[in-house]
Structure 1
Amino acid sequence: MFTQRRNRNFLDAIFTTLNLIYHQTVYNLRNNDRNAVMGLLFTIAQTAIFVGFFALLYFVVGIRSSPIRGDFILFMMSGIFVFMTHVQTVAQVSGSYSVGGGLAKHGPMNAAVMIAAAALAVLYRQMLSGIVILGLYHLAVTPITFYFFPGCLAIFLLGWFGGVCVGLVFVGLRPWMPKAVGIMTQVYQRVNMIASGKMFVANSLPNFVLPWFSWNPLFHVVDQLRGYLFVNYTPQKTDYHYAIWVFIGVLMVGLLINFAARKYESLSWGAAQ
């Protein structure tokens, strides 16, 4: 019982790490809600309320049809799903690890396991809630079709990957300035409410307005997803390669910050908090 387990080879270490990530992911899913079903229902309700609010807002303004030739509700859901997955991944990853946390004091646990588990927990919740909402809409309202489903899934995962990269930067900065990082995370989420362009169509934006959105890789992700979702829409002003390279650059910066933070971080830093 008091003997520390040692990995015999590289393959054994991989399976041990994957096992830790799996159990930590399950812990994260059960941590917020004691009942896993209620937690999933809350996530579904949160997304459905988001979609309903924007649909009501558009109907009040007088917009009752999609800017893209296709289903209006599906047009809104495509942007909202990617937006919520991205920003919630940023929030969960940014707060996933702290040297003073209780789980971090256990030998097998490390920052990589806790960050990966936080990201996977968000992906599981958001994908499952998206499948449920789309399934209910397909069965109860109107049948829906995807122009190229593998492309939709790949771009959706790209938005999630971007959330992991941005969250990695914030989790690396948190030991140095914990309060400021909390504010920065909220500002990032609020800015992307508009800058993600989830309610706009990039092809229809005037050229003098486009620079306000084209800097944001999430804007490219949302628009490219709609290109794979609707047969009548071809993105002309966005490129998923831009999002990929920006996210990779952010990932490299996040890794550098985390390596520096793990080297100098101390339990005494949180003594005055």
Structure 2
Amino acid sequence: MRAILALVLREMSATYGRSPGGYVWAILEPIGGIALLSLVFALTFHAPPLGVNFPLFYATGLLPFMLFSDVQGKVANALNYSRALLAYPAVNFLDALIARFALNTLTKIVVSYVVLGGCILLFETRTTPDPVIILEAYGLAALLALGVGVLNAYLFLRFPLWQHVWSIIMRPMFLISGIFFLIDSLPRWIADWLWFNPLIHVIGRLRAGFYGTYRPDYISQPYVVGVALVCLLLGLLFLGRTYRDLLAR
């Protein structure tokens, strides 16, 4: 626990302590993105695909996507980030993974609370938030980020080219994860393909937690959990056997 806490404090200092504003930028980034999306689509459409408020609709899509994208990226690079410290016997690869996952997940959840709470307080959203469903959706997003991040932590070390390939894969994910649309409104053949994107399920579940009348029947929590756990177990298995050799290369 002391090693994990030390790594968390080091991460906080390096990520947020050296820039003016620190944690303020973690809040301003999604607010800026949501404001831009709301402005662009408000000029094009009379109402969002769900509900009556553009900022809340795009916030419920953008925030879980950002949690997944940022947390998995931090976890995936955790061993490279802490390479020097992993040479000490008191620090192992699990400490580095847990520290980065815990800090960045907690940060994104707090940011989401502030942004989503601000949308509800400042605008007429006509929503009935369900805390249980909302927490479930964020739990799914965090578990998926952990699983994919741990597997990528191995793949980035074992196959350096994969890091570039993964960055290319993540670019269209922003467009096909349901941030701008509801999968229910798409043609069936497109929806069937997008169903395999686990982020579609996460974002749909979060929106169900805010919009009481929205009950998407395509959501499969076991599918998201299964993808996350398979990635997590594979990543831990490979890293446990090879991480010291990979770091020594």
Q: TM-score, normalised by structure 1?
A: 0.83
Higher share in helix: 2
Inter-partner Cα distance in structure 1 for 2:197 and 2:239: 23
Change (3 A) 1:115 1:244: same
Quickly say closer, same or farther: Cα 1:122–1:150, change in 2 above 3 A.
same
Say if 2:56 and 2:119, in contact at 8 Å, map to a contact too: no
Give the CA deviation at 1:262.
2.3
Q: CA deviation at 1:22?
A: 2.5
Offset at residue 99 of structure 1 (A): 9.4
Aligned to 1:252: 233
Higher-Rg member (1/2):
1
Q: Which residue of 2 aligns with 1:157?
A: 139
The answer to whether structure 1 residue 120 and structure 2 residue 108 are counterparts is no
Q: CA deviation at 1:175?
A: 2.2
Question: Structure 1's 99 and 261: CA in aligned 2 closer, same or farther, altered over 3 A?
Answer: farther
Deviates more, 1:40-49 or 1:190-199: 190-199
Tell me how far apart the structure 2 counterparts of residues 133 and 185 of structure 1 sit (CA, whole Å). 28
Whole-Å separation in 2 of the counterparts to 1:253 and 1:160: 17
Instruction: From the superposition, tell whether residues 198 and 25 of structure 1 become closer, same or farther in structure 2 (CA, over 3 Å).
Output: same
**Quick one: which of 40, 43, 56 aligns to 2:26?**
43
* Matches for 1:226-265 after TM superposition, within 5 Å: 226-262=207-243, 264-265=245-246
Q: Unaligned regions of 5+ residues in structure 2, if any? A: none
Which residue of 1 is the match for residue 189 of structure 2?
Answer: 208
Whole-angstrom CA distance in 2 between matches of 1:184 and 1:109: 30
1:81-230 pair list within 5 angstroms: 81-98=63-80, 101-142=83-124, 145-178=127-160, 180-230=161-211
Corresponding residue number in structure 1 for 2:2: 19
Shift of 1:263: 6.0
Q: SS where residue 39 of structure 1 aligns?
A: coil
1:119 and 1:157 mapped to 2: Cα distance? 13
Q: Name whichever of 128-137 and 166-175 sits farther off.
A: 128-137
Deviation of 1:36 (Å) = 8.3
Retained in 1: the 8 A contact 2:134–2:210? Answer: yes
Alignment partners' CA distance in 2, 1:190 and 1:182? 13
Does the aligned pair in 1 maintain the 2:127–2:212 contact within 8 Å?
Answer: no
Shift in CA distance, 113/37, structure 1 to aligned 2, threshold 3 Å: farther
Matched, 1:78 2:60: yes
Aligned-pair CA distance for 1:154: 1.6
CA distance in 2, matches of 1:21, 1:231: 40
Identity %: 20
The 8 Å contact of residues 61 and 180 in structure 2, kept in 1 or not, is answered as yes
Decide whether aligned partners of structure 1 residues 99 and 112 sit closer, same or farther in structure 2, where only a CA change above 3 A counts.
same
RMSD of aligned alpha carbons: 2.2
Relative to structure 1, is the Cα distance of residues 245 and 70 closer, same or farther in structure 2, using a 3 angstrom cutoff? farther
CA-to-partner distance for each residue in 1:81-119, whole Å, 9 max, x for gaps? 100000101110111013982221223111101111111
- TM-score w.r.t. length of structure 2: 0.90
SS of the equivalent of 2:96 reads helix
Query: How much has 1:257 moved relative to structure 2?
Result: 2.4
Amino acid at match of 2:190: V
